[in-house]
């Protein structure tokens, strides 16, 4: 046996680990490896068989380096023993764990993850949503809407460059919208009839009046026509505050400031975003090698020296659809509807009888905001006529008066031979949703309603959701979500069951009238008025028909290094914690 010392310079960045393990290289070989990823340096000592050439082993170690880092961060193989700590933390760089969606290698601004609700850092859009959730100018310095609501004209800033130094042109905007329209992505442009260059900007012509289009222009980032190709997903060039430095798909993303950005510049030379599970992210934070860590509420009571917990208010709502039609088979033979939730007394009893705070305490570690309206706290949320929950006796009386009685003393009510019992699901890859399902089931027992919570693959849960209610996550910067939630046509028994739009199968002609007026409005302000009326107009609407039981707005939780400010965060939309990166260029040490 003999030994060799080695030193390898790498460009990988991330937390600093000392790993021990056994590498299989021709013969069992013991490896001691120290990785100081902040200084781009790896060194160590390897003991290997006498007949193994050192140059083979060193080449092997170069190839193994990225794998070892991935194993340590993602798979957890090998032992995490200790980590090198420096006396002074490097304040020129950040290492962040903020959700898997940021590291998936698809940075087209119309993708389903990156760019969702305008949350992006390589790109910017014509408009943006500000902290008051109002749209304002971004790449556009002004815009007008024609009296008939069909033509939108945007005049562009003349000081904007892409991250490769090329000036932004109106042709780039037109190219972006036409490309996004033809893509199978997360931006709906079915209403767009034409996009064209005009003097100083662009003109969009719609095929129908569609007021939420103004919100769409605040979510679609602009790409450069000259640099767009089949490799753009992995090598994005945009007008946003950051540019790509390195991507290791599903492992890490390294970004640096865009020197041509027209807005506020980042204080950091480099930011590394990691895909890492929460337990290991917490361990890395405790070792001092992460600066921001997204955590689910079940971990939020942890204590980490040198860090503080920030809980950011959201519109990231959780609740369950309660199908309004009795159980039946649709034209395709699929079972839809529910014989229990189709009774309005059951839906109302659940909404007023359960304790949302108790459910939050049990399912979310007490971290969340009770909510009974899908859109709370967005500008178009209508909180009328109000709702007080945990009214157990009132809920029981409501059920009794509707004929739901426990005649056999088993604790579950019956009516016309039907037990007041049904199943609900929580998706298997989201512990919060399953925990909410279990907590709701437990809380409903006191009302004489038996709910069975099941964990299920998300695709399967959606497929049966119009029969078996599932935990829904929602929260958007566009009032178009009012249409998605309640428009009668979307709730037809013959709708695609995997589409969660109006999964409660709600039908109300008055509500539809208000929604149509919302979509046909000539301004955001007018649309918001109609969106509120669609929920409740003083007489009718989903706020009294209760096609869903909304439980909580999930507070997004982050452990943040002391002294680091995350800036002025606007209310987060749905997004599994990812929206924290919305303003990374504003993050500063104070």
Nearest to 550 by CA among 397, 347, 270: 347
Q: Give residue 252's Cα distance to chain centre.
A: 18
> Which runs of E-coded beta strand occur in 476-555?
548-553
Q: Residue 339 above 70 pLDDT?
A: yes
266-292 mean pLDDT: 92
Element (H, E) at 149: none
452-458 mean pLDDT: 97
- Distance, CA of 248 to CA of 251 (rounded, Å): 5
Predicted confidence at residue 89, as pLDDT, reads 67
Predicted confidence at residue 377, as pLDDT, reads 95
- Distance, CA of 339 to CA of 34 (rounded, Å): 62
Q: Residue 185 above 50 pLDDT?
A: yes
Nearest to 528 by CA among 125, 134, 126: 134
**Percent above pLDDT 70 for the chain:** 85
Mean of pLDDT over the chain: 87
Element (H, E) at 560: strand 556-561
Element (H, E) at 201: strand 201-206
507-517 mean pLDDT: 98
* Phi, psi dihedral angles at 339 (to 5 degrees): -70, -15
Q: What is the distance between the terminal CA atoms of the chain, rounded to a whole angstrom?
A: 54
- Distance, CA of 430 to CA of 279 (rounded, Å): 15
Question: Poorest-confidence range of 52-66, 444-458, 540-554?
Answer: 52-66
- Residue reference for tokens 């500008």: 379
User: In this predicted model, what pLDDT tens digit does every residue of 91-106 receive, in sequence order?
Assistant: 899 999 997 788 999 9
Predicted confidence at residue 186, as pLDDT, reads 87
pTM, rounded to two decimals: 0.85
User: In this predicted model, what pLDDT tens digit does every residue of 83-136 receive, in sequence order?
Assistant: 334 335 688 999 999 977 889 999 999 998 898 888 999 999 999 999 999 999
Residue pair 572/579 in contact (Cβ under 8 Å)? The answer is yes
Predicted confidence at residue 101, as pLDDT, reads 80
Q: Residue 35 above 50 pLDDT?
A: no
- 16 or 402, higher pLDDT: 402
Predicted confidence at residue 174, as pLDDT, reads 98
Q: Residue 16 above 50 pLDDT?
A: no
């Amino acid at each position: 046996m003999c030994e060799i010392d080695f030193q390898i310079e790498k460009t990988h960045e991330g937390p600093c680990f000392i790993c021990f393990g056994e590498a299989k290289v021709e013969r069992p070989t013991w490896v001691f490896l120290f990785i100081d990823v902040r200084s781009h340096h790896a060194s160590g000592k390897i003991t290997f068989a006498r007949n193994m050439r050192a140059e083979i082993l060193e080449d092997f170690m170069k190839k193994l380096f990225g794998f070892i880092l991935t194993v340590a961060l993602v798979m957890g193989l090998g032992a995490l023993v200790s980590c090198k700590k420096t006396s002074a933390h490097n304040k020129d760089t950040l290492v962040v764990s903020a959700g898997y969606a940021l590291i998936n290698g698809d940075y087209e601004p119309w993708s389903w993850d990156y760019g969702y609700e305008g949350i992006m850092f390589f790109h910017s859009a014509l408009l943006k949503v500000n902290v008051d959730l109002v749209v304002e100018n971004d790449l556009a310095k002004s815009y007008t809407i024609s009296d008939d609501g069909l033509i939108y004209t945007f005049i562009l800033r003349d000081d904007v460059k892409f991250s490769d130094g090329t000036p932004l042109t109106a042709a780039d905007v037109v190219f972006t919208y036409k490309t996004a329209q033809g893509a199978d992505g997360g931006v709906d442009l079915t209403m767009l009839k034409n996009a064209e260059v005009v003097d100083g900007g662009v003109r969009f012509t719609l095929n129908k009046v569609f007021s939420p289009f103004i919100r769409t222009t605040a979510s679609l980032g602009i790409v450069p026509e000259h640099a767009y190709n089949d490799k753009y997903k992995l090598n994005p060039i945009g007008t946003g505050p950051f540019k790509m430095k390195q991507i290791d798909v599903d492992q890490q993303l390294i970004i640096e400031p865009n020197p041509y950005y027209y807005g506020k510049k980042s204080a950091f030379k480099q930011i590394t975003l990691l895909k890492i599970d929460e337990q290991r992210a917490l361990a890395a934070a405790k070792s001092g090698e992460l600066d921001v860590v997204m955590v689910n509420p079940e971990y939020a009571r942890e204590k980490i020296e040198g860090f503080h917990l920030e809980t950011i208010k959201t519109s990231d709502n959780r609740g369950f659809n309660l199908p309004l039609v009795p159980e039946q088979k649709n034209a395709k033979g699929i079972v839809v509807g529910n014989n229990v939730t189709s009774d309005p007394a059951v839906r109302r009893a659940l909404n007023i009888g359960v304790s949302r705070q108790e459910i939050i305490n049990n399912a979310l570690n007490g971290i969340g905001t009770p909510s009974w309206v899908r859109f709370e706290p967005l500008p178009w949320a209508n909180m009328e006529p109000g709702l007080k929950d945990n009214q157990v006796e009132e809920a029981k009386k409501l059920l009794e008066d509707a004929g739901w009685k426990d005649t056999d003393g088993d604790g579950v009510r019956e009516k016309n031979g039907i037990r007041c019992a049904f199943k609900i699901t929580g998706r298997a890859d989201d512990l919060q949703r399953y925990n909410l399902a279990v907590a709701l089931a437990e809380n409903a027992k006191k009302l004489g309603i038996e709910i069975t919570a099941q964990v299920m693959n998300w695709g399967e849960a959606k497929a049966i959701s119009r029969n078996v209610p599932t935990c829904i996550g929602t929260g958007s910067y566009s009032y178009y979500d009012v249409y998605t939630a309640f428009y009668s046509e979307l709730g037809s028994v013959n709708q695609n069951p995997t589409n969660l739009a109006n999964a409660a199968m709600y039908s109300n002609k008055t509500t539809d009238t208000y929604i149509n007026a919302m979509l046909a409005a000539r301004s955001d302000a007018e649309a918001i008025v109609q969106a509120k009326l669609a929920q409740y107009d003083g007489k009718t609407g989903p706020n009294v028909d209760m096609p869903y039981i909304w439980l909580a707005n999930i507070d997004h939780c982050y452990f943040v290094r002391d002294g680091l400010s995350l800036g002025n965060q606007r209310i987060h939309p749905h997004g599994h914690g990812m929206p924290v990166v919305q303003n990374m260029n504003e993050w500063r040490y104070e």
